[in-house]
Amino acid sequence: MEWETKTIGSAVEARPATGTDLIEHFLANRVRTTAISKCGSLYAQSLIDRGFADTRAIAIGDAIDNDDMLALAYAIGACDDYYFPWLVKNEPVLFLYFKSRAEHLPNDWRRFSQRIQEVLDNEEKANG
């Protein structure tokens, strides 16, 4: 990768010189990295990049990658009162996926349905 430098006052900024390298540099700088964020799947990294908790994202991603609905139920169920509503608002497909794949876990779906209803009720109250 070729780099170009640009002097602004006394500061020197280095960045890739070519368009492709510049795009890759831009994208790499948008990835949220933490101590454990590179341990998970692509789906987990996507959640982490959007602000989701690392440990929960990795557990969810691993459960999906391993097609383990019991582990997915545990990972989603372990989300607190901030991250569970976040999933409802930002990843509704996750719940549809769970429902379609976990017919053998009706109690978990019932519990998620109740929590989802609470999220919807709270959102309705907040919006008046």
Please tell me whether residues 21 and 69 are part of one structural domain. no
Q: pLDDT class for 45, splitting at 50, 70, 90? A: confident
Task: Domain of residue 20: give its range.
Answer: 1-30
pTM exceeds 0.75 for this model = no
Please tell me whether residues 113 and 50 are part of one structural domain. yes
Please tell me whether residues 23 and 44 are part of one structural domain. no
**Residue 5: predicted pLDDT:** 55
**Residue 40: predicted pLDDT:** 65
Please tell me whether residues 69 and 90 are part of one structural domain. yes
Please tell me whether residues 48 and 22 are part of one structural domain. no
Q: How far is CA 40 from CA 37, 57, 66, 85, 94, in A?
A: 6, 8, 12, 22, 17
Distance CA 113, CA 119 (A): 10
Please tell me whether residues 66 and 90 are part of one structural domain. yes
Number of domains in the chain: 2
Residues 6+ apart with CB under 8 A from 106: none
CB-side neighbour CA atoms (13 Å) of 9: 1
**Residue 87: predicted pLDDT:** 96
Please tell me whether residues 102 and 63 are part of one structural domain. yes
Judged by average pLDDT, the poorest of 32-36, 57-61, 98-102 is 32-36
Q: By the 8 A CB rule, do 14 and 8 touch?
A: no
Please tell me whether residues 82 and 25 are part of one structural domain. no
Compute the radius of gyration of the chain from its Cα atoms: 20
Please tell me whether residues 60 and 113 are part of one structural domain. yes
**Residue 108: predicted pLDDT:** 94
Residues 6+ apart with CB under 8 A from 12: 5, 6
Please tell me whether residues 23 and 62 are part of one structural domain. no
Q: Is residue 29's pLDDT more than 80?
A: no
